[in-house]
Chains A and B, each alone.
Chain A
Amino acid sequence: MSLLSIRDLVVRYRGHSGATVTAVAGCDLDVEEGQIVALVGESGCGKSSLGKAAVGLIRPAAGSVTFDGEPVEPLGQRARPAAQRRLQMVFQDPFSSLNPRRRIADLIGDGLRVSELHGGRQLSVGECLERVGLSAGIADRFPHQFSGGQRQRIAIARALAAQPRCIVADEPISALDASAQASIANLLVSLVDDLKVGLLFISHDLSIVRRIADITTVMYLGRVVETAPSEPLWRAPLHPYSAGLIGAITEPDGRGRMPADLPGDVPDPAAPPPGCRFHPRCPIAIDRCSVEVPERRLLGPGRTAACHLAEPVAAFV
Chain B
Amino acid sequence: MASVSTKPPLLSIEGLTISLPTAEGQRAEAVRGVDLAIGRGEIVGLAGESGSGKTLTALSVLGLLPGGARPVGRILFEERDLLASGRAARSVRGAEVAMVFQDPMTALHPMLSIGRQMTEHVRFHLRLSQHAADTVAVEMLDRVRIPNPREAMTRYPHQFSGGMRQRIAIASALAAGPKLLIADEPTTALDVTVQAGILRLIEGLRRELQLSVLLITHDLGVMSALADRVYVMYAGRVVERGARADVLAQPRHPYTRGLLDALPHGSPSDHPLRALPGSPPAIGRFPAGCAFHPRCRFAEDICRADVPDLMPVAPGRAIACPIDPLAAVPA
Contact A255 B273, beta carbon cutoff 8 Å: no
Q: Does A185 contact B (CB under 8 A)?
A: yes
Q: Which of B200, B222, B245 contacts A261 (CB 8 A)?
A: B200
* Interface size classification for chain A: 35 or more
Q: Are B279 and A262 in contact (CB under 8 A)?
A: no
Known contacts A179-B258, A259-B195, A261-B197: A249-B264 contact under CB 8 Å: no
Q: Which residues of B contact A183 (CB under 8 A)?
A: 273, 275
B192, CB-defined interface residue at 8 Å: yes
Residues of A39-75 at the interface with B, using a CB-CB cut-off of 8 Å, are: 42-43
User: Looking at the complex, which one of A43, A252, A266 makes contact with B263 (CB distance below 8 Å)?
Assistant: A252
A178→B247 contact, CB < 8 A? no
What sequence of 0s and 1s flags, for each residue 244-273 of chain A, a beta carbon within 8 Å of any chain B beta carbon?
110111111111111111110110000000
**Cα–Cα distance between A150 and B245 once the two chains are bound (Å):** 33
Q: With an 8 A cutoff between CB atoms, is B161 at the interface?
A: yes
In the bound complex, what is the Cα–Cα distance between A172 and B246 (angstroms)?
32
| Given the contacts A177-B50, A185-B273, A260 and B196 also touching, CB distance less than 8 Å | yes
Across the interface, A254 reaches (CB within 8 A) one of B162, B218, B244, namely B244
Q: CB-CB < 8 A to A258: which residues of B?
A: 196, 199-200, 203, 225
Contact of A207 among B161, B203, B264 (CB under 8 A): B264
Query: Which B residue sits closest to A184, measured CB to CB?
Result: B275
Q: Given A207-B265, A250-B219, A254-B245, verify A178-B193 contact (CB < 8 Å).
A: no
B218 touches A180 (CB 8 A): no
The complex places the Cα of A206 from the Cα of B258 at a distance, in Å, of 21
Chain A 88-107 near chain B by CB (<8 Å), digits 1 or 0 = 00000000000000000000
Residues of A with C-beta under 8 A to B164 = 265
Q: Are B275 and A186 in contact (CB under 8 A)?
A: yes
Shortest C-beta distance, B203 to chain A (Å), equals 7
Q: How far is the CB of A240 from chain B (nearest CB, A)?
A: 12
Residue of B200, B260, B276 touching A252 (CB-CB under 8 A): B260
Instruction: Tell me if A248 and B196 are in contact (CB < 8 A).
Output: yes
* A291 to B237 CA separation, bound complex (whole angstroms): 58
Distance between A285 CB and nearest chain B CB, rounded to angstroms: 16
B194 in contact with A265 (CB, 8 Å):
yes
A250: which B residues are within 8 A, CB to CB?
192, 195-196, 199, 219, 221-222, 224-225
Question: Is B49 among interface residues, defined by CB-CB distance under 8 A?
Answer: yes
Q: In the complex, A111 Cα to B244 Cα: how many Å?
A: 47
Knowing A254-B247, A259-B192 are in contact, say whether A182-B225 is a contact too (CB < 8 A).
no
Cβ of B161 and Cβ of A256 under 8 Å apart?
no
- Chain A residues near B244 (CB, 8 Å)? 254, 256
The verdict on A261 contacting B196 (CB below 8 Å), with A204-B191, A207-B264, A253-B248 known, is yes
A254-B260 Cα distance, complex, nearest whole Å? 11
Looking at A185, A231, A245, A259, which has the most chain B CB atoms within 10 Å of its CB? Answer: A259
Neighbouring A residues of B259 by C-beta, 8 Å: 178-179
Give Cα distance in the complex from A212 to B260, angstroms: 17
Of B191, B196, B246, B274, which contacts A43 at CB under 8 A? B191
Chain B residues near A43 (CB, 8 Å)? 162, 191
Assess whether B263 is in contact with A207, with CB atoms less than 8 Å apart: yes
| Residue numbers in A under 8 Å from B94 (CB-CB) | none
Question: Taking the complex as formed, is A34 at the interface, i.e. its CB lies under 8 A from any CB of chain B?
Answer: no
B225 near A257 with CB under 8 A, answer: yes
Q: Which residue of A lies closest to B259 (CB)?
A: A178
Quick one: given A177-B280, A182-B273, A258-B203, are A252 and B221 in contact (CB under 8 Å)?
yes
Complex interface residues of chain A between 216 and 259 (CB less than 8 A to chain B): 230-231, 244-245, 247-259
A-B contact list, 19 entries, CB within 8 Å: A42-B192, A177-B49, A177-B218, A178-B262, A182-B276, A185-B264, A186-B272, A206-B192, A249-B192, A249-B221, A250-B224, A251-B221, A252-B220, A252-B248, A254-B245, A254-B249, A255-B249, A256-B244, A265-B161
Which B residues contact A (CB, under 8 angstroms)? Answer: 49-50, 161-164, 191-197, 199-200, 203, 218-225, 244-250, 258-260, 262-265, 268, 272-276, 279-280
* 4 more CB-based (< 8 A) A-B contacts, given A178-B220, A265-B164: A252-B248, A252-B260, A254-B250, A261-B193
